[in-house]
Every structure is written in structure tokens, then in C-alpha cells.
Amino acid sequence: MSFTSAEFIIFCTIVFVLYWFVTAKDLKAQNLLLLFASYVFYGMWDRRFLFLLVLLSFANYIIGIEIDKNEADRKKKIWFIIGLITNIGVLVVFKYYNFFIQSFIDLVSLFGYSLSGSTTKIILPVGISFYVFLSLSYIIDIYIKSLRANRNITEVLLTLSFFPIIVAGPIQRPASLLGQITKRREFNYSQAVDGLRQILWGMFAKVVIADNLSVFVDDFFKNCAVYSGSTLLVGAGFYAIQIYADFSGYSNMAIGIGKLFGFNLMQNFAYPYFSRDISEFWRRWHISLTSWLRDYVFMPMSMAFYERIKSEKVMFIKSNMAIYIMTSAITWFLTGLWHGANYTFIIWGMINGLFLIVYQMMKSPRKKIYKLMGINNKNLTAIVIETIFTLIVITIAWVFFRSLNVHEAFLYLRRIFSISLFSIPKFPNRVAGLINLILASLFFIIEWIGRGHQHPFADLEMKLIRPLRWAAYYGIVITILFFAGKHYVFIYSQF
């Protein structure tokens, strides 16, 4: 049941009415309703694995209590390890089993041995990466005493399966979400209206921009061997727009739906394509994941290296930089692997990690060069050049992210960087291509204008008088009705 489907609109309307008009005065009833709705919602996506979500959530409820009540370090650590094994084990089995088995077979074949290529094909449960990371942060926070275990099973299960975020995030921190679940919510008209605006913008991004571009992107990547380099360059740009519109669209709808029920969910995108450098990009793109990896992987690993490395240099590199390089490489390897059981995702992650390392190493030389050239850090030319360069790096990396395998990714890039790059791009449907370019341009113009807020429509009341404001709403709705593309599943729901 996708956010963009008629079934979800009916579902959400029913839950909204029951939530605010039937159970509004009873917090327990509201939470039970949301928990039931969350399980219905997930079951409509994939009823085969609803049991997995329920069992894993219940297991983490028990593990959290056991970690919290055992003050003895040994028992506390044992339960924490059980929690890590349970959550990571579920993720590994369901998401990476086939990948690891096939990788082992390929490795053995390099030494002249042949093993059977048949493996047990395990189906990937929808949203498993998101709810496992949510569960991990719950037990980690309890272990490091930044969160107390909650004894109310309804509140914990709802925290670990809240329907707006269960399929593709944001990966809301349990402390933040649980804090809102345990308190009574009052209907806030302004918050609900803002939620509807955010849902509308997310819907436009998904069904008008992302879904229409999907047709072109699928064709370009499927037939990259026959298209010219210039056409494939446009295709790579189209995919960069598609994945942003698709995922930011989902996130905006999820956050907006949360607002309808009185919840404030964390911002997941902060206009990342307007970033000046790769570091800024990753502070703005998929914020809930990057902050999760920073807090639970990068920082703890960095501290562990600092405690063990006492020398000033490691292999002729200053220890601080060496630690950053090692920690970044591991973190970005895991980031790529988190996105999917495919070497393309790992390469994509390592490309981003490499450029982050290069950026870190060049920060000081860059300042010196700019100073010698008399260029201010706010120089418009410098900002434009750096922003374009960042977009080029991100777009090239997206080619690996989108490709089915490494061979296809390199073929796509070889075709781009061939002599045909200087030819005129050719589209299967020029009129549709032009319309998509116009709509995508409109999309980013509105994003640029509203970049100072959580979403571009957040301050329309202050910017536009009522007639113009309603004209904008109707304009977006009409555009959605007339230009909605063929329905595609959300890209990140597959992770």
C-alpha cells in the first residue's frame, strides 16, 4: 500500500477520523489504534513478513528491559550482545545470505574449484534495513544509558513499527519518537495543515517528477550500449533527479503524515543538490541514515582508534588523518552494503567515502590557495564551480547505484566518456523529454525558493495572499492529475 495509492488515502482518512474523533481523549487507545494501523499498513505492503516485524519488535522490547534492569556489567553486556546478534543476524540472513553465498562461490572459482551455483533464494522483506536500524538504536541507547527501557509494550512496539516511517524512514531516533508516543497529543490545526502541504509537495515530487523520469532512466540504463554518450549523460542526470524526487518525496509524505497525527518527525532532506561540497551534501542527503552511521559507527570507531593509536603518524600520515581515513573507509563500505547486497552499492559507497577523504585532506590547502588568489570563501564563482563539481561526482556515483551490475555501470560510463559525448542527445520521445525537463526545472526552482524551510510550501501563508496560495495548491493538484506518471514503487522501500 503505497503513499500515492487510493487505498492509502482511504486508509489514512479512516485512521485519522478514528484517531481524533473516537480515541482523542484516551492516549492508550490512540496508541493501540496506531499500532494496529501500522501492522495493517505493513501487512498490505508484504503480509508474508509481518510476523518478522512483530517478533523482532517484541524481542527488542524484552532485550531492552533486560539490558536496563541488569546493572552488573557482565549480564548487561550479554543481553546487549544478544540484541546485536538478533538484529544484525536477521538483517544478514534476509538481506545478504544470497549475496554472501554467491560471493563465496565466485571466490572459490578463482582458485579453480567449482561449487554449485544453486542457493536458497531468500525474499527480502520490505523496509527491513530501516526497522532493523531503528531497533538497533533502541537497544544501543538503552545500553549506553541515554534512554531508559520502556515497560509499556504497546508504546515500544509502536515506536519500532510506526507506519509513516516503517517502510523507508526517516530512521527516527527511538528517544525522540518514544517521547512523543508516551505523551498525550492534542490536535493542532496549523500543524495538520502544514502536514498536508508537505504531503502535497512530496506527492508532486514522486508521481510527477520521479515516476515520469523513471521511464527514460529505465530505457537509458537497459540500452546503454546503443545510446550516445551525450544521451547517457542526460540519462545519468535524469536518474540523479529521479532518486532525489522519489526519496525526498517519500520522506516529505512520511513527515507530513506524522504531523496529521501530532508527531514531529526528523527532516530527512535539506536540499542536498544545492550543496557546495561532498561533505555538505551528506549532511543534507538522507540525514537520518548519515547521522545514525555517524553516531553509532563512525564516532565510536574513531574513539576506539584514538585510544589504541598513540603514535603521531601512521604510515607517514598524521594519526588524526589516518584515523579519519580508516574510519571513513569502513563506514562508507557499510553504507554501501546497507543499501543493497550488490557490488555496485559497495562501489557507490566507496566513491563517496573516497571523495569525502579527499575533501578532508584538501580543506587546508584549499584555504591557502584561495587566500593566495585573493578569493573570498563566499565568492559566487567559486561557489558555482564547487557546486557543479560536487553534482558531477554525485551523478557519476549514482550510475553505480542504479546499474544492475558492475559491468553495466562501467559500460555506461565508458559510453558517456566516448567521442559520442559531443553529439546531440536523442530521446525516444522528445516531447515527453522536454515536458519532463520543464517540470524538473520548476521543481528545483520551487525547492530553491523554499530552501530555508523544512519543505518549500512551509511558509506560503507568509509569502502569498490566500487567493494566490490556493491557486498554487490547485495548480499542483491539477499538475499531479494530468502529468502523473506510471506508478513505480518507492526506490528506498526496496532496501
Give the pLDDT band (50/70/90) at residue 194. very high
Residue boundaries of the structural domains of the chain: 6-184, 191-494
Sequence-distant (≥ 6) Cβ neighbours of residue 444 within 8 angstroms? 273
Average pLDDT, integer, range 181-205:
94
pLDDT at 109: 67
Q: What percent of the chain has pLDDT over 70?
A: 96
Alpha carbon dihedral 370, 447, 488, 285, in 10-degree steps, equals 40
Does residue 399 have a pLDDT over 60? yes
pLDDT at 115: 65
Distance (Å, rounded) from C-alpha 221 to C-alpha 235?
8
Sequence-distant (≥ 6) Cβ neighbours of residue 240 within 8 angstroms? 273, 391, 394, 395, 398
Average pLDDT, integer, range 389-406:
94
pLDDT tens per residue, range 341-371:
889 999 999 999 999 999 998 888 888 888 8
Between residues 12 and 434, which one has the greater pLDDT? 12
pLDDT at 117: 55
pLDDT at 328: 94
Q: Lowest-pLDDT range, 147-156, 274-283, 436-445, 484-493? A: 484-493
286 has catalytic annotation: no
Between residues 484 and 142, which one has the greater pLDDT? 142
pLDDT tens per residue, range 94-138:
888 777 777 766 666 666 666 665 556 677 888 899 999 999 999
* Whether residue 467 has a cis bond before it, omega within 30° of 0: no
pLDDT at 106: 67
End-to-end CA distance of the chain: 16
* Mean pLDDT for the chain overall: 90
pLDDT at 110: 65
Q: What percent of the chain has pLDDT over 90?
A: 64
pLDDT at 118: 55
pLDDT at 120: 60
Q: Lowest-pLDDT range, 249-253, 418-422, 436-440, 456-460? A: 456-460
pLDDT at 199: 95
Does residue 170 have a pLDDT over 70? yes
* Among 339, 453, 455, 487, the one annotated catalytic: 339
Average pLDDT, integer, range 158-176:
92
Average pLDDT, integer, range 280-289:
95
Average pLDDT, integer, range 177-193:
93
Is 171 within 8 Å of 134 (Cβ atoms)? yes
Give the pLDDT band (50/70/90) at residue 169. confident
Average pLDDT, integer, range 410-438:
88
pLDDT at 204: 95
Average pLDDT, integer, range 291-306:
91
Average pLDDT, integer, range 23-38:
95
All three cell numbers of 321: 588523518
